[in-house]
Structure 1
Amino acid sequence: MSSEKDLRVDIIIPTFNRAHLIERAVQAALNQSYWNRLVTVVDDGSNDATKHVLQPYFSRPDFSYIQLKKNLGTASAKNAGLLLTGGPAVTFHDSDDIVHRDKVLRQLRVLTRQDVMANECLNWAPSGKQSGTRIDVDAVLTHHSLILPDGRQVDIRRNLSLIDDVFPNLQMGAEVPGDWTHVNSGLFRQDVFARFGGFENCIEEDREFRNRIILNGAIVWVIPELLLTKIETSDSLTQSAASDYDSAQRRADRDMVWAKVAEWRSTGKIAPVPVDLPDLEIEFASNPAALVARDIPMSKRTAKTVRDVIATSWNQPVINTKEAAE
């Protein structure tokens, strides 16, 4: 991977009907102390004033606004952002996140370290690494604060929660359901997506992705400082009756996640997830030159859609894609 000095970071912000919040998230991303970043907002078919609010940013070369024709859901919006950006490092910010100015810089300095070793006192065989050798960090997470709708602030500092679906016996005493270090705001190498795919189309997409990369041996580093504040609102997925932790949809998604853990216990691996977005259509893109195809497993029909979006609609060059059998 390139050095910190020239490595471009894609900051992808999926959003839906958050016109009242989105500018704050964009400003926080654009004001990051690390200079080489492209901020991409994926507007998941909003019917409010999101496009109007962000229009003053359309002329910036470090900003890209992608408006989807229809609402596809959070996981699919993240996948759309992945498909149409090509930076060697990627992070996702929610539209209601407040990020520390140095978050990306701190994460990037860890991601590009060349002195991380596979300590000889640890068992590296399950991760496919050899003790005593240099290893690359695949993902850098941070601790975060959570502001709940009742006004409470909970600081999430539970590194062990990264494996709560595998060893729930280690997770006692969590203050809120899902009291885990936040994977959604992690900084990831492009290679992580090339090896393991994108997000499952579900509302537990972060949880499933977290398990998939860790159980497949990705090297994850956790910065123990609070570099992000998450604000839970009445329309957050975890607060909505249709998608909160007690909802039927989330329970079904957790069953899927746990089935994959069972697969890992049986086989030692979790299969990659090729991106499949047959309904992907772009209504508007503010920065066509920023649209490139990421090297990530995807279905043949999705690869064709990406080629059409980039090469036909905006006449942009296409780089390599991995087409998976449908």
Structure 2
Amino acid sequence: MTPSVTIVIPTYNRALVLPQAIEAALGQSHPKTTVMVVDDGSQDETRAIIARYADHPGFVGVSLAGNIGTAQAKNVGIALSTTDAITFHDSDDLPHRDKVMRQARVLGNETIGAHPCLNWRLAGREPETRIQVGGVLSHHELILPDGERVEIRRTLSLVDDFFPNLQMAAGVPGDWTHVNSGLFHRSVFDRLGGFLDCIEEDREFRNRLIMAGEVLWVIPEILLTKIETPDSLTQLGATDYDSPRRIADRKRVWDAVGRWFATREVDPVPIDLSGITIRSCTNPALCDRAALSGMTPLREQVA
């Protein structure tokens, strides 16, 4: 059965680009799609934009009282969603109309099996048994601030933290398969938890999936356009690829891979929302009520 999907869009002070991301998400061809924007304490017009869509039956606008960071905003989306699968789009992402539908059909395919030509026991599975795909990725493209269009198609980059020796002839560093916009089966989060609170949260989550033996399926087509702007995280001096903060987080990720090589153990990342204050929620009927009630409410609370 084709799974229902929540598109989680974490956002912080991106009011100028957020409407097009919401429109593209609401315009997905997959009929069982919920769009959840998690406003991470924005100080611009983000809440006014969310209010425009408050009456849409497939839209949820969650406003947090303070800025908790992208990783934790994604964790809020995981905890509040009630669908079979979850994908994460940035506020400058434009998914192609059939992106979610194509990913969902792969995730719901019950005929995928562990072919005996591969060493499935190494990933904790038996040959000739059914496989539940954990995540479905696709290729994507970037539109850079100077107008350059870059196609991102290097699937080999999924294991660059494990086998850097394989990357030498693979193209320009940073030419990666985008994990953030993958569609993930809910059971993956049940097993492995959510996102680690750092700015390399996608990379760390990708590595945890691989180390835990989750099955990742790649659709070898461009199904997402990312519009990079000067205020994107990868463009800002404080958080770009050469920033001290990102370098420190990258070392943290590499250290975790080193521990896995030594122990073959994978620690889940529990989702803890106890210290997070929610300002408002436009459509609580589409949210997990237990998770919603577990977050500290403000007086304006849930609409």
Structure 1 length normalisation: TM-score? 0.88
Is contact 2:279–2:302 with CA below 8 Å preserved after alignment? no
Is contact 1:177–1:245 with CA below 8 Å preserved after alignment? no
Is contact 2:273–2:295 with CA below 8 Å preserved after alignment? no
Q: Which residue of 1 aligns with 2:32?
A: 36
Using the TM superposition, give the Cα deviation of residue 293 of structure 1 relative to its aligned residue in structure 2, in angstroms.
5.6
Using the TM superposition, give the Cα deviation of residue 282 of structure 1 relative to its aligned residue in structure 2, in angstroms.
0.6
Q: Secondary structure at the match of 2:184?
A: strand
Aligned residues: 300
Cα 1:202–1:171 change in 2 (3 A) is same
Q: Which residue of 2 aligns with 1:207?
A: 203
More divergent stretch after superposition (197-206 vs 47-56):
47-56
Q: Secondary structure at the match of 1:195?
A: helix
Q: Which residue of 2 aligns with 1:93?
A: 89
Equivalent in 261, 275, 278 of residue 279 of structure 1: 275
Deviations 1:34-88 (A, max 9, x none): 1111100000001111111232210112100000000111111111111111211
Q: Which residue of 2 aligns with 1:139?
A: 135
Is contact 1:46–1:71 with CA below 8 Å preserved after alignment? yes
More divergent stretch after superposition (228-237 vs 210-219):
228-237
Q: Which residue of 2 aligns with 1:267?
A: 263
Deviations 1:178-222 (A, max 9, x none): 321110000000000000000000000000000001111000000
Q: Which runs of 5+ in 1 are unaligned?
A: 295-302, 316-326
Q: Which runs of 5+ in 2 are unaligned?
A: none
Q: Which residue of 1 aligns with 2:294?
A: 306
Structure 2 length normalisation: TM-score? 0.94
Is contact 2:85–2:186 with CA below 8 Å preserved after alignment? yes
Using the TM superposition, give the Cα deviation of residue 308 of structure 1 relative to its aligned residue in structure 2, in angstroms.
5.8
Using the TM superposition, give the Cα deviation of residue 135 of structure 1 relative to its aligned residue in structure 2, in angstroms.
0.9
Q: Does 1:222 align with 2:222?
A: no
Q: Which residue of 1 aligns with 2:239?
A: 243
Equivalent in 177, 184, 198 of residue 194 of structure 2: 198
Using the TM superposition, give the Cα deviation of residue 231 of structure 1 relative to its aligned residue in structure 2, in angstroms.
1.8
Q: Does 1:48 align with 2:44?
A: yes
Equivalent in 98, 105, 115 of residue 119 of structure 1: 115
Q: Secondary structure at the match of 1:240?
A: coil
Using the TM superposition, give the Cα deviation of residue 125 of structure 1 relative to its aligned residue in structure 2, in angstroms.
1.4
Q: Does 1:160 align with 2:162?
A: no
Q: Which residue of 1 aligns with 2:176?
A: 180
Using the TM superposition, give the Cα deviation of residue 291 of structure 1 relative to its aligned residue in structure 2, in angstroms.
2.0
Using the TM superposition, give the Cα deviation of residue 278 of structure 1 relative to its aligned residue in structure 2, in angstroms.
4.2
Q: Secondary structure at the match of 1:91?
A: strand
Alpha-carbon distance between aligned partners in 2 of 1:314 and 1:19, rounded to the nearest angstrom: 22
Q: Secondary structure at the match of 2:87?
A: strand
Is contact 2:137–2:218 with CA below 8 Å preserved after alignment? yes
Q: Which residue of 2 aligns with 1:298?
A: none
Is contact 2:156–2:170 with CA below 8 Å preserved after alignment? no
Alpha-carbon distance between aligned partners in 2 of 1:178 and 1:211, rounded to the nearest angstrom: 16
Is contact 2:278–2:295 with CA below 8 Å preserved after alignment? no
Alpha-carbon distance between aligned partners in 1 of 2:267 and 2:19, rounded to the nearest angstrom: 37
Q: Secondary structure at the match of 1:236?
A: coil
Equivalent in 252, 255, 264 of residue 251 of structure 2: 255
- AA aligned to 1:282 is I
Alpha-carbon distance between aligned partners in 1 of 2:225 and 2:5, rounded to the nearest angstrom: 20
Q: Which residue of 2 aligns with 1:106?
A: 102
Q: Secondary structure at the match of 2:73?
A: helix
CA root-mean-square deviation? 1.8
Using the TM superposition, give the Cα deviation of residue 251 of structure 1 relative to its aligned residue in structure 2, in angstroms.
0.6
Q: Secondary structure at the match of 2:119?
A: coil
Q: Secondary structure at the match of 2:233?
A: coil
Deviations 1:244-292 (A, max 9, x none): 1111110110111011101110111221011234431011111121220
Alpha-carbon distance between aligned partners in 1 of 2:46 and 2:7, rounded to the nearest angstrom: 18
Cα 1:267–1:293 change in 2 (3 A) is farther
- AA aligned to 1:133 is T
Using the TM superposition, give the Cα deviation of residue 126 of structure 1 relative to its aligned residue in structure 2, in angstroms.
2.0
